[in-house]
Amino acid sequence: MNSATDTATSPAAHSALIVADRISKSYMRGTERLQVLDALSIQIEEGEFVALMGPSGSGKTTLLNLIAGFDTADAGSLIVAGSNLSSLSENELSKWRLNHVGFVFQFYNLLPVLSAQENVALPLMLFGMSAKERNERARFSLEVVGLGDRVKHLPSELSGGQEQRVAIARAIVTDPKLIVADEPTGDLDRASAEEVLALLKRLNTEFKKTIVMVTHDPAAASHASRIVRLDKGKLVG
Amino acid sequence: MELASLAFRTLRRHPLRSLLTALGIAVALTAFVLIRTIIGAWYSGVEASVKDRLIVRNAVSLVFYLPQSYQAQIEQIPGVELVGHGNWFGGKFRDEEMRFQQFAVDEHYVDIYSEYQTSPQERESWDKNRKGLLVGQSIADTYGVKPGDNLRLTGTIFPGDWDFEVSGVFKAQESGKDTRIMYFHYDYLNERNKAELGRQPDQVGFYVVRLKAGANVAEIAKAIDEKFANSFAETLTETETAFIQGFVSMSSGIIAALNAVSVVVVLIMLLVLSNTTLMSFRERYREFSVLNALGFSQRHLSLLVVGEAAVLSSAGFVLLLIALTPVFLLPAKSYLGELVNFFPVFRVSMSTLAFAVALAIGAALIAAFPPLLALRRMKVTDGLRLIH
């Protein structure tokens, strides 16, 4: 992908999409340094659906942010989709995210002035595609998530569950290997949450997407193929 | 949908705020353009003046006259081609204060101002008619006078009613020339003055000198003044440009104030745009973080911020052009009213419009600067944390 790309070398890492080796992360809170991740190591294979669980402050969102390339670790090595994220600049990380990761947030984060189709097509602007091609791909993604009849609707005209499905369509429109989801059902009612989780499961099984999901909800975590628990910045199970 | 389109769509989120900001920019730009145009109108006489045409006047003051006999002496100076003379008349027309310039001149004077053109027939008619009057096109249009009409002026410097017959209407070769001017024969003024008023007969207000091609302007001006040095009526000779500039500089305080106002107007525009741009950025900080998360680089986001400011600026400029439509399409009288008498040449120049474009672009860039700084410090996680 670029010169900073660094393929993991350990034998076990060859089939792994994510290899975190003793990564640490701390933040300053006032004058106090808060250790959020403490020499954490984890490996996630391609095609896995992993749920990250743990109490508040356990470091699960921080780990997700590092895996997604939103932030970089203070120490240790994190290789995702063949790239050593610590060695990438901000702009390189932006480009890397565009090519390798799709995001699903708790509060959808759709642009309110754009229709469902335009929101989904947004990342495709950066690939230099024609408007026609962008719209076709966005429409296909919306059909995958069951919203083929809502392409022209604004976010304000959709239910919470539908908004989250538009966000999922946006996450898959660039066909990334990895989808990270931060509490994707946290703002939804049970029925909508089940629809979203079923959709994520389908993306994992049918479209072979690797999914890493942060959740507090055991019911949501039950859809994952593996549950990883964190506490005080370390893996506990 | 491209970045520019995205910037435009984003501004529709708060249509009233965007509209008010664009209107604010338009009002500021319009004020700026009109102020610059007024200043330009003030200087229009200077710009339209001819640099190698000399004006000879009394060294003490313009209100003192010069002997008519100077004309022949000035003509003798090497480099001088033609000498004409003029007297300011200062009459009232239809009981109104003077709204145009009236000069009692000789034939040479009209020849020297060759940029004002009349037909050979009308000129011949004027030459032959002692009470003949040549009027500028603006006067003819304003008062509806035409060749053959009789016209009466009431003298203020030379009291009494003065009757004239319009011989012709002259036009300016270039659109920047003021044609609110009227010429009549000096002889008519001088002879009646001698007979009835006795107010400094055989004296002229000033001389106009046309030079031969390649003549040294400064040397000739000096030679004229030296010729009449130590006489009872010493002369001050300067180029027409300097002569008119002298009048304009009497209003330099007003012009300086107008210039200051135009700067204030630009600053107000900048504050209005900066306020909206910064407010919009702060409200959408999380959105910028999400875009960054999706793969939009700092460069893309910077273009989006600048683009939004540029769309507002451009909208302001378009509204400016709409506001200026009457100035482009209608005669000055229709929108200036009586002010047209002060600004006979009121034109929005291309350079002023180009300046306004540059201001709009500059304002967009400056207004985008604080959000751009914040953008450089932004981390995806900071913005996303706002929702947790």
Tokens of A173: 């429109």
Helix axes B3-11 and B298-323, enclosed angle (nearest 10): 60
A33 occurs within a structural domain: no
Kindly report, residue by residue over B18-68, the tens digit of the pLDDT.
899 899 888 888 888 888 888 888 777 666 667 678 999 999 988 899 999
A41 occurs within a structural domain: no
A79 occurs within a structural domain: no
Kindly report, residue by residue over B136-165, the tens digit of the pLDDT.
988 888 888 899 999 999 888 888 899 999
Spans in chain A with pLDDT lower than 50: 1-13
Q: Give residue A62's domain range.
A: 47-72+87-235
pLDDT at B247: 74
A118 with B381: Cβ contact below 8 A: no
Contact in structure between A108 and A185 (CB atoms under 8 Å): no
CA distance A234 to B285: 31
Tell whether A123 lies on the interface with B, counting CB pairs under 8 A: yes
Supply the DSSP string of A12-41, one letter for each residue: GGGGEEEEEEEEEEEEEETTEEEEEEEEEE
Identify the residue whose tokens are 């500021």: B28
Q: Regarding beta strands A101-104 and A178-182, do their DSSP bridges make them parallel or antiparallel, or are they unpaired?
A: parallel
CA distance A117 to A169: 9
Tally of residues, chain B: 388
CA distance A66 to A81: 13
B387 with A99: Cβ contact below 8 A: no
Tell whether A97 lies on the interface with B, counting CB pairs under 8 A: yes
Rounded (10°) CA dihedral B285, B290, B293, B296: -80
* CATH code, A181: 3.40.50.300
A residues 174..213 contacting B (CB < 8 A): 174, 182
Q: Which of A69, A92, A46 is nearest to A204 (CA)?
A: A46
Q: Which of A150, A144, A171, A49 is nearest to B290 (CA)?
A: A171
Distance from CA of A32 to the nearest CA of B (A): 19
How many independent structural domains does chain A possess? 1
Kindly report, residue by residue over A11-37, the tens digit of the pLDDT.
444 578 999 999 999 988 888 888 999
Contact in structure between B281 and B374 (CB atoms under 8 Å): yes
What does residue B384 show for φ and ψ, rounded to 5 degrees?
-70, -30
Distance from CA of A236 to the nearest CA of B (A): 24
At B7, the pLDDT band (50, 70, 90 cuts) reads confident
Ranges of each domain in chain B: 3-45+251-385, 60-233
Q: Minimal Cα distance from A171: which residue of B? A: B294
Distance from CA of A70 to the nearest CA of B (A): 6
CA distance A43 to B215: 93
Q: What is the ipTM of this complex?
A: 0.85
